[in-house]
Amino acid sequence: MPETTLQSAVPTPLTTLSEDEILFRDNIRQFADDKIRPLVKEMDEKGIFEKNLIHEFFQLGLMGIEIPEQFGGAGAKFFEAILAVEELSRVDASAGVVVDVQNTLVNNALLRWGNAEQKKRYLPKMAADTVGAYALSEAGSGSDAFALQTRGELKGGEYVLTGRKLWITNAKEAGLFVLFATLDPAAGYKGITAFLVEKNFPGFSVGKKEDKLGIRASSTCELILEDCRVPKENVLGEPGKGYKIAIETLNEGRIGIGAQMIGLARGAWEFAAKYALERKQFGKAIAEFQGIQFQIAQMATEIEAARLMVYNAARMKDAGVNFVKEAAMTKLFASQVAERVTSLAIEIYGGYGFTKDYPVEKYWRDAKIGKIYEGTSNMQLATIAKLLLGGK
């Protein structure tokens, strides 16, 4: 297995991409290698995402991929956002999720549910310099997403929000939050309403930053709302329709998490394959042993299968085809593949893989979140089963 075959062995199905998409992907890949990779270890150790990188994300148009050009965005498709998340995550899953949340959750919610005035006010900011966050989860509201305790009450021309949110990605950097609260707990999910909350609104603050196993550079924080005052015109969609916004936005977000998982799996695979070519035991490279060859081949095959699922779901979304089942399957399978591939990468490195001096242990730590956020694996299975069995 000569070293010259390594790059051609990297599973990248060029036939599924147009020339423009290949160029876009390759540019992001080069940027990630040149600008992000040198900072990965330090960002992981400190648990802080480099501010200059976020500035460069905006400069490259990565934070407003689907935002129309009239609002300062790239005017591209959802598929391009997925390619960006994959390529960034190949180097650092924390970088991938910053761009993922911005595009697949926050911008998508604004594009689909925002009125003309909200789009005019916020989309140029999201494309230029404002990071977004998506605030649904609470201490008692995880998989049971609509058991919200955060309350909203209309008083005059504004809503007053009170409560706490947990596990909010991008919270430390964000200037705008798509935040969910209930106007009427007795109404159940029909009381849920989505709000556009700016970081400087009175009564809003960002609390504790979590000390996490993986994606450590990505901020995950508590949000505190103490009589937070939100203008009436900042309701996203309409009162009582927040559950629909949350569900449909998360369906798109799951494809983004699938892209994050295949990206980091590929990053781990590349390191493992290269190491197998260089590491010698019993007088030859360990890549010459059939046992290692089979592991490398199995890893690449699973990454390829997961990637095709991600790409297919993204294409379906862009085509306006119902993709709910495919999005759930994509997130479920891609997160399983990422966990398996990154674990095998550590084993190929042996004892070295278990240390922080080598990169593969971080990929393994980063992979674990894929089975948890934006809907656990069990919730994906429940969704898939319901759709396959006609809702029974």
Q: Rounded to an integer, what distance in angstroms lies between the CA atom of residue 308 and that of residue 42?
A: 33
Say if CB 360 and CB 346 are below 8 A apart.
Answer: yes
Report d(CA 299, CA 319) in Å as an integer.
30
- Neighbouring residues of 8: CB distance < 8 A, sequence distance ≥ 6: none
8-state DSSP, 10: S
Q: What is the dihedral of CA 245, 386, 368, 222, to 10 degrees?
A: 30
Contact by Cβ (8 Å): 250, 75: no
Is residue 383 within 8 A of residue 325, CB to CB? The reply is yes
Q: Which residues contact residue 15 at a Cβ distance below 8 angstroms, ignoring those fewer than 6 apart?
A: none
Q: Is 69 a catalytic residue?
A: no
Q: What element of type H or E holds 164?
A: strand 158-169
For residue 168, give both structure tokens: 């909010």
Exactly one of 86, 87, 173, 374 is catalytic; name it.
Answer: 374
Ordered alpha helix ranges (H), 18-101 = 19-31, 40-46, 51-59, 78-91, 93-100
Task: Give catalytic residue positions.
Answer: 374
